[in-house]
Amino acid sequence: MGLRGYVADWTSVAAAADLPEGEMLEADNRGEPVVVARSGGSLYAFEGWCTHEECPLAEGTLTDQQLECYCHGAVFNIRTGEALVGPAVASLETYPVREQDGEIQVEM
């Protein structure tokens, strides 16, 4: 762990064609999972473990901007990361995400 600078560090995590509308995929963020979702024509990126008991969020159910964890039903806003419905209380970390040259890139 070190201090983070302010230089953008965009990392390609998937081909854009591999993430259709309404789908999620899990990618690697330096050994930790990051989930990228495409919903309502927008891209979202957020940490891969549920903040309740660390179930993989990529296995959850995506509806518009909301993701329901399949383990105990916590619901998060994937744009803000906010935990909307328990049992999760802590928000998800979210990341800037973009589509560039046919690739999905996340700013880690």
Given the rule CB under 6 A, which residues bind ligand FES? Answer: 50, 52-53, 55, 69, 71-74, 87-88
To ligand FES, the closest distance from the beta carbon of 15 in angstroms equals 28
Tell me which DSSP letter residue 56 carries: B
To ligand FES, the closest distance from the beta carbon of 58 in angstroms equals 12
Q: How many CB atoms lie within 10 A of CB 86?
A: 11
To ligand FES, the closest distance from the beta carbon of 65 in angstroms equals 17
- Between residues 71 and 108, which has the closer beta carbon with respect to ligand FES? 71
**What token pair was written down for 2?**
């070190």
- Between residues 16 and 55, which has the closer beta carbon with respect to ligand FES? 55
Residue for token digits 């081909």? 15
- Between residues 72 and 98, which has the closer beta carbon with respect to ligand FES? 72
Whether cis (ω within 30° of 0) applies to the bond prior to 33 is: no
Distance CA 18, CA 25 (A): 9
